[in-house]
Amino acid sequence: MLKIDNLHATASDKEILKGVSLAMNAGEVHAIMGPNGSGKSTLAQVIAGHPGYVVTAGTITYDGKDLIAMQPEERAQAGVFLAFQYPVEIPGVTNAYFMRSAYNAVRKAQGKEELDPIEFLELMDERLKLVDMDVSMLHRSVNAGFSGGEKKRNEILQMAVLEPRLAILDETDSGLDIDALRVVAEGVNKLKRSDNATIVVTHYQRLLNYIVPDFVHVLAQGRIVRSGGKELALELEARGYDWVMEAA
Amino acid sequence: MSSAYAEALRALPKADSPEWLRQLRHDAFARFEALGFPTTRNEDWHFTSVTPIAERTFTPVAHGPGTGALSPADVAALVIGDPSWHRLVFVNGRFEPELSAFSALPAEVRVMTLAEALQESPEFVAEHLGKLAAYRKDTFTALNTALAQNGVVIHVPRGVVVDEPVHIVHITDAQASATAIHPRLLAVVDALAHVALVESYASTGTASYFTNAVAEIEVGNGARVNHYKIQRESIEAFHVGTVQVSQGRDSVYHSFSYAAGAALSRTNVYTKLLGESGETRLNGLYMVDGTQHADHQTFVEHLAPSCASRELYKGILDGTSHGVFNGKVYVDPVAQKTDGKQTNHSLLLSPEARVDTKPQLEIFADDVKCTHGATVGRLDLAALFYMKSRGIGADQARALLTYAFAAEVLETIELDTLREGLEKLAFARFTRGEQR
């Protein structure tokens, strides 16, 4: 489904990704771990198409398509979703309107019929339960004045609405207490299917107790320095990142 | 320069004017001639040249009854309002009784045209007209004071709460071309009374005319006035509007100014807080494009202790348009415990659009809390990316963010019909490219 080959990316002329390669299939969950500043979030943002990063070498192939050539909205319409580490506040646009616009933009791109506001609210009723959110959240401005936990839940709600083929969760666990973490993780697990895939970007092993990865990759200084099964996360937790960086 | 206006003054019907009014008009006209039109050397007009107004000849509209060319349905389509509102409609500056409806007002509330008020309550008009309006200092106010023929006089007596807003509608059509219209509003709201005033300016087309409006609003002790001014003039028109307010103790005056029309507009809102614990809120939104010029000037005078003033003005500028915001706050030595906050945000949608913003605080009391902040910016790139990352196309994302910028100040409008109407207008403008 996704194949990243020798990816190099810069921000403000500083090279952050220095040759990342990664392949994943539908139905898989991959965790990307690594110390702060290793390039984890950059990788997530580059896949989503953040304009602040320039890909200087390498390829990203998604469902056989050249992802780098696509606009961020085209990637989303093709089923790529990034749950932001720092979700953006948009005062003045309600969550309901924002999500319906997104949902219908994706539907339209897929040649499907758009939903009217009533039909959309029915859909939302069901999706809200997935992340244990109240319907009143829909009438608030997007993320404006939301607590850290509410923002992260709102990301997963958007994921539940858009039903992406490839979801990237960027530090979704940061700032969450254990109850919120469980709710978010359960939501993600319920959305898991054999035809979609998830990348979990995290600094800590904690989230991976709830969202169990098939593969764990360690990113350090812009490269994947080690890959393994889920037990690698436990080993990192026990021994720290220094160990794997020394071994690399 | 002033020959057409001098002619207009001579042409005013004399028979029905009391002596004091003739005197007021002549005094005001003398001030207009002495002051002349302001130049950009005048500090308050530094960023706004009124040369296009000064150099043109605008003739007075014909006196007498209106043409009756517009139907009630036309009026409803041109302005945002509700059938339940009390309504006074002027077309090309002339009162249209057939289009107006305000008989459902509480009996003790008096709403009249200026002409009627001069007949029925000349002492009341003499006591209040020209008392707040600074015709000695301001050219445009002087000109209006000299020439205002049609206007509205409102008196809400002590303790009366008017449930539905009073809507004063000024519409122009092609016949307004090259004319000057001087609408006047005098509202006296006595102690503990409540009223909402809506002034709408709209046009059926693109005639070029000059609206020079003056409003005087007296807000009594413990009284509350919500005042909305919706300026959607013809795109070729000129609009200068001055609102002068005095506030008594514990009074509340909320103003919202919406400006989307006119080639050149200048909107002044001046309030004096004369009694303790008064509250002033001045909000506004202007949206301009092409070569439009929109200037807003506010002046809040804190002349008594423990008053609060809040200001939020926002501007959205496209094309080569030019916006000006000049917000002055004066805190008198006696006005201790003043709480003032002024905010002005401008959104530039094109590289050629320009904003000049100048907050001015003059504080002469020591125990006060006064802040101001101004930003001029473009659309938030992080928000744009966030929306695109959800599949929303670039154009739609820009439109939604622009609308959101406007909605943040529109949502402060307490009158539901008006808020929803303006939100719809702004939404259509930015998502579907509809105008004003």
SS (H, E, C) B105-125: CCCCCEEEEHHHHHHHCHHHH
Q: Are strands A54-62 and A2-11 parallel, antiparallel or unpaired?
A: antiparallel
pLDDT band at B84, cuts 50/70/90? Answer: very high
As a whole number, the mean pLDDT across chain A is 94
* Predicted local distance difference test score (pLDDT) of residue A223: 95
Residue B434 has pLDDT above 80, yes or no: no
* Predicted local distance difference test score (pLDDT) of residue B2: 56
pLDDT in tens, A79-96: 999 999 999 999 888 999
Q: Taking the complete model, does pTM exceed 0.80, yes or no?
A: yes
pLDDT band at B64, cuts 50/70/90? Answer: low
* Predicted local distance difference test score (pLDDT) of residue B11: 86
Distance CA B168, CA B217 (A): 14
Distance CA B322, CA B396 (A): 25
* Predicted local distance difference test score (pLDDT) of residue A240: 86
Q: Which residues of B touch A50 (CB under 8 A)?
A: 385
DSSP A87: P
ipTM for this prediction? 0.96
Helix (H) or strand (E) holding B95: strand B94-95
Closest-CA residue to B254 (of B303, B327, B190, B198): B198
**Measured between CB atoms, does A146 come within 8 Å of chain B?**
no
Average pLDDT over residues B383-396: 96
CB distance A73–B381 less than 8 Å? no
Q: Which residues of B touch A72 (CB under 8 A)?
A: 385, 388-389
**Residue ranges of A 152-211 with Cβ closer than 8 A to chain B:** 158, 162
Structure tokens given for A60: 């990203």
Of B380, B386, B401, which has the smallest distance from its Cβ to A84's Cβ? B386
CATH fold of A2-247 reads Rossmann fold (3.40.50)
Q: Where are the beta strands (DSSP E) in A34-171?
A: 54-62, 65-66, 80-83, 90-94, 141-142, 166-170
Residue B162 has pLDDT above 90, yes or no: yes
Distance CA B192, CA A181 (A): 54
pLDDT band at B57, cuts 50/70/90? Answer: very high
CA distance A156 to chain B (A): 12
CB distance A93–B407 less than 8 Å? yes
In Å, what is the CA distance from B317 to each residue of A93, B353, B411, B425? Answer: 20, 6, 20, 16
Average pLDDT over residues B102-108: 95
Q: How many CB atoms lie within 10 A of CB A192?
A: 14
pLDDT band at B315, cuts 50/70/90? Answer: very high
* Predicted local distance difference test score (pLDDT) of residue A241: 87
Q: Where are the beta strands (DSSP E) in A171-234?
A: 197-202, 215-220, 223-228
Report the chain A residue with the minimal C-alpha distance to residue B386. A88
Distance CA B270, CA B300 (A): 6
Q: Would you say A226 and A218 are in contact if contact means Cβ atoms under 8 Å apart?
A: yes
Q: Which residues contact A38 (CB under 8 A, 6 or more apart)?
A: A219, A220, A221, A222
Distance CA B71, CA B381 (A): 47
**What residue ranges of chain A have pLDDT lower than 50?**
none
Average pLDDT over residues B92-116: 94
**Measured between CB atoms, does A92 come within 8 Å of chain B?**
yes
Helix (H) or strand (E) holding B413: none
Q: Domain coordinates of chain A in residue numbers?
A: 2-247
Residue B178 has pLDDT above 90, yes or no: yes
pLDDT in tens, A208-247: 999 999 999 999 999 999 999 999 998 988 888 888 877 6
pLDDT band at B13, cuts 50/70/90? Answer: confident
Distance CA B229, CA B222 (A): 23
Angle at B399 between CA B373 and CA B227, to 5 degrees: 50
What percent of chain B has pLDDT above 90? Answer: 90
Q: Which residues of A touch B390 (CB under 8 A)?
A: 73, 76, 81, 98-99, 101-102, 105-106, 158, 162
H helical segments located in A22-114 = 40-48, 72-77, 95-109
Residue B62 has pLDDT above 70, yes or no: no
Average pLDDT over residues B316-323: 97
Distance CA A132, CA A126 (A): 10
Residue-wise over B71-93: b if at least 16 C-beta within 10 A, else e?
A: eeeebeebbbbbeebbbbbbbbb
Average pLDDT over residues B263-268: 98
Closest-CA residue to B357 (of B413, B300, B312, B302): B312
Residue B66 has pLDDT above 70, yes or no: no
As a whole number, the mean pLDDT across chain B is 94
Residue B63 has pLDDT above 60, yes or no: no
